[in-house]
Amino acid sequence: MPAVVGGPFGRFSHQKGTHRQVWIAGGIGVTPFLSWLRALDGQSLRGPVDFFYTSHSADPPYAEEIKALAGGHNMMRAHVVNSRERRLTAEEALATAGADPDTLSVFLCGPAGMVSSFCKDFRRAGVASRRIHREYFDLR
């Protein structure tokens, strides 16, 4: 039987977002964001982006590369959070970003529980559902 390969189909893309964005990755959910950062390669961002990368590791994979890539863009700030020490919250992300929930787009990728929790919390904080974009990285 022949193999069939498809995609990517571009449904999870920061290009769909508003001028002001927050990206949140949990663990292996860093994959699409790392790809986005690598693809920027000298291109400018549409607006300010705060990228939060949460991991159970004190020394998460790709953290140094993410910081270096983000450092090459004056409108990108990278925040690495050790989730064994503390949990990132939607409130903390909004406060750190200094973002207005009315004009913000949020992009999330990670375990389903984390993504669902952030979706609820960002909606409660005033981010419109249509501006919360998510990609799950587990098979629940």
- With tokens 């005033």, the residue in question is 126
CA–CA distance, 114 with 20 (Å, rounded to integer): 22
Per-residue pLDDT 10s for the chain (140 aa) are 777 655 555 578 888 899 999 999 999 999 999 999 999 876 778 899 999 999 998 889 999 999 999 998 889 999 999 999 999 999 999 999 999 999 999 999 999 999 999 999 999 999 999 999 999 766 55
The full set of domains in the chain, from first to last, is: 15-136 (3.40.50.80)
* pLDDT in the model for residue 4: 65
CA dihedral 127, 72, 70, 46 (to 10 degrees): 20
* 3-state secondary structure (DSSP) of residue 77: strand
Q: Starting at the earlier edge strand, list the strands of the sheet with 76-82.
A: 76-82, 49-55, 20-26, 104-110, 132-136
The H or E element containing residue 50 is: strand 49-55
